[in-house]
Amino acid sequence: KAGVTQTPRYLIKTRGQQVTLSCSPISGHRSVSWYQQTPGQGLQFLFEYFSETQRNKGNFPGRFSGRQFSNSRSEMNVSTLELGDSALYLCASSWDGTGLADEQFFGPGTRLTVL
Amino acid sequence: QKEVEQNSGPLSVPEGAIASLNCTYSDRGSQSFFWYRQYSGKSPELIMFIYSNGDKEDGRFTAQLNKASQYVSLLIRDSQPSDSATYLCAVNRNRDDKIIFGKGTRLHILP
């Protein structure tokens, strides 16, 4: 069974640009969550999608957005990039993301560097 | 109070000894608790999850949950150098079903 995949693995952008990251969950998983990981802040929750709907959202500015497609694949977009957006962006999938059956499995991440 | 608190470490443990990692959480209604291991430069990997008070054992790993004290721990028996990593505690926050991560404890197993 294939794990969670994320593309691209590495990305270098300049301030002001925008970026789109992609995540394909484990087959059968319908919940996809996105996290930002930095050395200072640890893993911070961005948002969660389930059945093409954003079900939960963290405390990030509106420059961060996402969507989910009917095949559960998800994308996240960051517009008007800032230096502080440099981080490892992790995608995690789970069966339904609620209750007790919500063990999350992480993808390898996308390392974004903003210059 | 932080929602999920862990000692950042590093925690140094001799090879073969028991490593004890601790985590406290603030949402008393939380139901699900997870331990992830993250090697440097890699993504987190789920080690164990626990839902009920008490102990749950899986190989060399034992998770312990005490909901009354809002405390969850991970014991690693017969520690190996390959156990050296950052261990993340995660809690499913009851009020909105978000999974909140602690900042992790760095564990270093001394050969």
Quickly tell me which residue has 């999850």 as its tokens: B49
Determine the residue of chain B that is closest to A97 in CA distance.
Answer: B97
Sort out which chain A residues have CB atoms less than 8 A from B43's CB and list them. 88, 90, 106-109
Residue A97's pLDDT is: 62
What is the mean pLDDT of the segment spanning B58-76? 96
| Cβ–Cβ below 8 Å for B99 and A98 | no
Shortest CB distance from A90 goes to which of B43, B51, B98?
B43
In this predicted structure, the answer to whether residue A101 has a pLDDT above a threshold of 60 is no
In angstroms, what CA-CA distances link B9 with A68, A70, B78, B84, B106? 37, 42, 19, 12, 5
Residue B96's pLDDT is: 78
**pLDDT level of residue B93 (50, 70, 90 thresholds):** confident
In this predicted structure, the answer to whether residue A3 has a pLDDT above a threshold of 70 is yes
Q: How many A×B Cβ pairs under 8 Å?
A: 55
Whether A75 contacts A25, CB under 8 Å = no
* Arithmetic mean of pLDDT over chain A: 92
- Summarize pLDDT for B5-58 with one digit per residue, the tens: 999 889 999 999 999 999 999 999 888 999 999 999 899 999 999 999 999 999
Shortest CA gap A96–chain B (Å): 11
Residues on chain A bordering chain B, Cβ-to-Cβ distance under 8 angstroms = 33, 35, 41-45, 48, 55-56, 58, 88, 90, 97-100, 102-109
Residue type, B48: M
What is the mean pLDDT of the segment spanning A80-102? 85
Sort out which chain B residues have CB atoms less than 8 A from A38's CB and list them. none
Residues 6+ apart with CB under 8 A from A71: none
Whether B6 contacts B102, CB under 8 Å = yes
CA B6 to chain centroid, in Å, comes to 8
Sort out which chain B residues have CB atoms less than 8 A from A103's CB and list them. 34, 46, 49
In this predicted structure, the answer to whether residue A100 has a pLDDT above a threshold of 90 is no
Whether A92 contacts A32, CB under 8 Å = yes
**pLDDT level of residue B94 (50, 70, 90 thresholds):** confident
Residue A99's pLDDT is: 55
Residue B2's pLDDT is: 80
Determine the residue of chain B that is closest to A91 in CA distance.
Answer: B43
Residue B39 in contact with partner chain A when CB distance is under 8 A:
no
**pLDDT level of residue A36 (50, 70, 90 thresholds):** very high
Whether A91 contacts A6, CB under 8 Å = yes
